[in-house]
Amino acid sequence: MSRKTRIVAMTLGAGLAGCASLQGEATPVRYIDAHSHVVPAMTTAQEIALFRNAGVDAVIIMNPDPAVLTDFAAQGAGYVTPFVSLARLNQMTGLRLDADAPAAFAALHASGAVCGFGELPTRLEGANGISDAVSLANPLRGRIYDLANARGLPVNIHVSLESPEVIAAVEQIVAGRPDMKLILAHAGWAAGPEVIGRLMESHPNIHADLSVRLDPAEGFPADGSGRPAIQNSISILDGNGRLLPAWRALIERFPARFLFAMDITGAERPLYIRELMSTGRTALEDLPRDVEAAVAHGNAERLLQGCVIRTGA
């Protein structure tokens, strides 16, 4: 039997599009998780169901194994958008940072298998003593950045903006690549709003996903299941689950640059997906509705605009 190619296109919208009303009442804002991963203990179908049941309207799944991404795209057609990443640990299956990686990234995008690159880790197992600044400047990474710039693609990088050297390295990446859409995973990890604000003001192609930053600072309370509380020292929420004033002001200043995300991965975070969804929605609902819509789904849709995922049928 011959194979047919099924074309699955993302539903796209303007970054600051308002939401329609239904019979005089505003419809709920849609939420796209712009940064999550493969959960090892689950099948593909189980993980997709996990997101759907938590109320997530679409999800970007990041993984270094092209075969895994193909499976997610096929089973989650129209719902899952794949990003290809690099294997951080030696035991992981998938692409590694070597001379073949840039060509592999290019081929995956050209074939319609992925819509972006990332989450690109800066700290690879075995690369002891290499700082984030040096890692970011690796020429092989530079070829991936150049590819993203040439094709106008989003690139999600995990980097902790904890020193002037690392901040300068990020600026060097984006300064010469205006068409690459750089997304700082976890809003630069420990970076404060003043750092992110300065970067966004200076570089219009810098964005930030809010995964982990929207976790409650005190961790999720015990619920009788025996699950431990997950403390979070980089939360941007106050004790009532509201955005800290400086972060709210920053998001309202740059409403087209932030993306809702949850970073579902590993063993613990999938257990808290409903809490993560609820906590994120509660925090962002305080924003003006058009800003909430932009962060919740519009900005992700805009960054992916024009991307088409092709899956075999």
Q: pLDDT by residue (tens digit) across 101-127? A: 999 999 999 999 999 999 999 988 777
Query: From CA 214, how far away is CA 232, in angstroms rounded?
Result: 9
Which of helix, strand or coil describes residue 217?
coil
Is 21 inside any structural domain?
Answer: no
**Residue 24 included in any domain:** no
User: Looking at the domain assignment, is residue 17 inside a domain?
Assistant: no
Q: Is 0.85 topped by the overall pTM? A: yes
**pLDDT score of 242:** 96
In the chain, the N- to C-terminal Cα span, in Å, equals 11
For residue 18, the model assigns a pLDDT of 37
The H or E element containing residue 126 is none
Q: Which two tokens stand for residue 291?
A: 């800003």
Whether 19 is covered by a domain: the verdict is: no
For residue 224, with 0-12 CB atoms within 10 Å meaning exposed, 13-18 middle and 19 or more buried, which class applies?
Answer: exposed
Can you tell me the distance from the alpha carbon of 239 to that of 259, in angstroms, rounded to the nearest whole number?
22
Which portions of the chain are predicted below pLDDT 50? 1-25
pLDDT at 301: 96
Question: Helices 66-75 and 101-110: crossing angle, nearest 10°?
Answer: 20
Residues of the domain holding 213: 5-10+29-312
Q: Measured between alpha carbons, how far is residue 115 from residues 73, 156, 177, 216 in Å?
A: 11, 12, 18, 31
163 occurs within a structural domain: yes
* Any domain includes 106: yes
Q: Is residue 113 part of a domain?
A: yes
Residue 85 is assigned to a structural domain of this protein: yes
Return the CATH number at 60.
3.20.20.140
pLDDT digits (tens, 9 = 90+) for 203-221: 999 999 999 999 998 887 6
How many domains does one find in the chain? 1
264 Cβ partners below 8 Å, 6+ apart? 33, 36, 37, 39, 50, 51, 270, 273, 276
